[in-house]
Amino acid sequence: MLRPMLALSRRCAMAMLLGATLCSLAWDAALAQSDPLPSWRDGAPKTSIIDFVARVTTEGSADFVPPAERIATFDNDGTLWCEQPAYFQVAFALDRAKQMAPQHPEWSAKQPFKTLLEGDIKAFAATGEKGLLEVLAATHTGMTTEEFSKAVLDWMANARHPRFNRPYTELVYQPMLELLAYLRANGFKTFIVSGGGIEFMRPWTEKVYGIPPEQVVGSSGVTEFHLSPDGKPVLLKLAKMEFVDDGPGKPVGINRFIGRRPIFAFGNSDGDLQMLQWTAAGAGARFIGIVHHTDAEREYAYDRQSHVGKLDKALDEGRARGWTIVDMQRDWRTLFPSAGADRSGR
């Protein structure tokens, strides 16, 4: 019986050698050709992402997570796209108020609209949060969901960022587009969990981020079902807040909309802290990331003192707990996609 066994083992050895060679060639080729995160410079954040994805996707690994449970949540403002000098949704609301003014002659004598329409931004800013909320209500409600969606898309197609002079949807972070695509290629389901308005994001997130509307969680107002006299059903947007998806609202929103705890979460401000805590507290491997805006030259530099996207407590907690903190200036090779690029990331 020795000879057949020897013959067999020689064939086995050949097959193994051949297999190993092919394997190794494939591995090298994969490494050389397809860095999944080309806009991320080599460093701790990139390594921690790739290590985490390898651990949770390797069957038999102690950290393996079945695809159905690979939920990744991302804040939007300041995490997936720029949020300075003001949240882009605020820019939308102000532009829209100006556009709607002819239908509202009473605004020319009524604050906060008067200062806004007169272009007195300083006086408008002095109306504070109350003034802003009034403009948001006036520009976001009293119409059907379909009319609002169309207004958002019209604005997105025409508005330009004051500093970069580009459409707002081109001010998304190229490294994050790559990260979203990389996670999806590894069986993750990617969600947005944003303090921004859900109806403001959904019309364009699929095209821009590859994230479909049903995977967008955000703040929202009450809508009401109506049958028009000719029997056409519509949903009317009412001037009443329903849910604020910010701070402690983020884990609430995740539980409500997703119903599963994420294993991967990325934010950039104290408004994301509870989402990061909630994600980190699950059993098993977890990835927690924070974008730190450190790049005044290519974008903006801000953290503890900023009115928009304040990052203070979450920065301390992230450092203390060893979360992955991205230094935008150091870690990101490219910030924004090249103009006109296909940014769907799919």
Residue ranges that bind its own copies, judged by CB under 8 A: 68, 71, 145, 189, 198-199, 202, 206, 212-216, 220, 223-225, 227, 232-233, 235, 248-249, 251-252, 255-260, 274, 277-278, 281
**Going by DSSP bridges, is the β-strand pair 189-197/216-227 parallel, antiparallel, or unpaired?**
parallel
Q: Which is nearer to its own copies, 145 or 306 (CB)?
A: 145
Q: How far is the CB of 142 from its own copies (least distance, A)?
A: 16
Q: Which is nearer to its own copies, 234 or 301 (CB)?
A: 234
Q: Which is nearer to its own copies, 187 or 248 (CB)?
A: 248
Element (H, E) at 6: helix 2-33
Q: Which is nearer to its own copies, 174 or 269 (CB)?
A: 269
Phi-psi category of residue 340: left, alpha or beta, with phi > 0 → left and psi -120 to 50 → alpha: left
Phi-psi category of residue 142: left, alpha or beta, with phi > 0 → left and psi -120 to 50 → alpha: left
Q: How far is the CB of 215 from its own copies (least distance, A)?
A: 8
**Going by DSSP bridges, is the β-strand pair 264-267/71-74 parallel, antiparallel, or unpaired?**
parallel
**Euclidean distance between CA atoms 190 and 265, whole angstroms:** 10
Q: How far is the CB of 290 from its own copies (least distance, A)?
A: 17
Q: How far is the CB of 169 from its own copies (least distance, A)?
A: 17
Q: How far is the CB of 118 from its own copies (least distance, A)?
A: 36
- Dmax (CA) for the chain in angstroms is 103
Q: Which is nearer to its own copies, 38 or 284 (CB)?
A: 284
**Euclidean distance between CA atoms 267 and 313, whole angstroms:** 13
- 295 neighbors 284 (Cβ within 8 angstroms): no
